[in-house]
């Protein structure tokens, strides 16, 4: 007695046979090569992101230290410029020991508007710079350098 058995499909005819698995192995090899090539790029991008973050943090920290010094020094103004300068430096260095701030005093006065110059009669006697040379103005205000010398108090 003979039984009819279906003919077995060849390797290339069946999904999941050795023919298709060798193609999957070739594709898997290509993916691993791409991954190996991208790993240094990913580490480089991560290193740049960390460096940039550290730079932003350090700038903010320094700005905060200098702001603290300026606010502390302002408590002695307008009567004693020397004490104001020394206090500002002391507080800035207390907040950031590596800071080496330079103290500059400015008088802030009104501007003429679109002409962007110091409005006449606006220079106060307490900060008598004697001149408006070096003033930095916008449409609403001007900052005049006021050197810490005798007579400017």
The tens place of each residue's pLDDT in the chain, 153 residues long, gives 556 555 555 555 455 555 566 666 666 678 888 889 999 999 999 999 999 999 999 999 888 888 888 888 888 877 788 888 899 889 888 888 888 888 888 878 888 888 887 777 766 665 665 666 778 888 888 888 877 655 554
Under 8 Å between Cβ of 124 and 118 = no
Q: Are strands 136-137 and 106-110 parallel, antiparallel or unpaired?
A: unpaired
Measured CA to CA, the distance from residue 49 to residue 26 in angstroms comes to: 35
Residues near 113 by beta carbon (within 8 Å), at least 6 away in sequence: 139, 140
Under 8 Å between Cβ of 95 and 109 = no
User: Cis before residue 78, ω within 30 degrees of 0?
Assistant: yes
The predicted pLDDT at position 28 comes to: 64
Q: How many CA atoms lie within 13 A of 44 on its CB side?
A: 5
For 145, phi then psi, to 5°, come to -60, 135
Of 117, 120, 107, 106, give the one whose Cα is nearest residue 140. 117
């Amino acid at each position: 007695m003979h039984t009819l058995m279906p003919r077995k499909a060849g390797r290339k005819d069946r999904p999941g046979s050795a023919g298709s698995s060798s193609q999957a192995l070739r594709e898997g090899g290509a993916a691993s090569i791409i991954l190996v090539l991208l790993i240094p790029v990913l580490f480089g991008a991560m290193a740049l992101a960390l460096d940039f973050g550290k730079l932003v943090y350090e700038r903010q920290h320094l700005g905060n230290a200098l702001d603290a010094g300026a606010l502390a020094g302002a408590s002695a103004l307008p009567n004693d410029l020397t004490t104001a300068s020394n206090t500002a430096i002391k507080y800035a260095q207390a907040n950031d020991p590596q800071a080496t701030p330079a103290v500059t005093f400015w008088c802030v006065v009104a501007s003429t508007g679109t002409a962007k110059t110091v409005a006449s009669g606006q220079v106060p006697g307490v900060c008598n710079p004697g001149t408006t040379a070096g003033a930095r103005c916008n449409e609403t205000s001007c900052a005049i350098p006021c050197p810490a010398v005798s007579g400017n108090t």
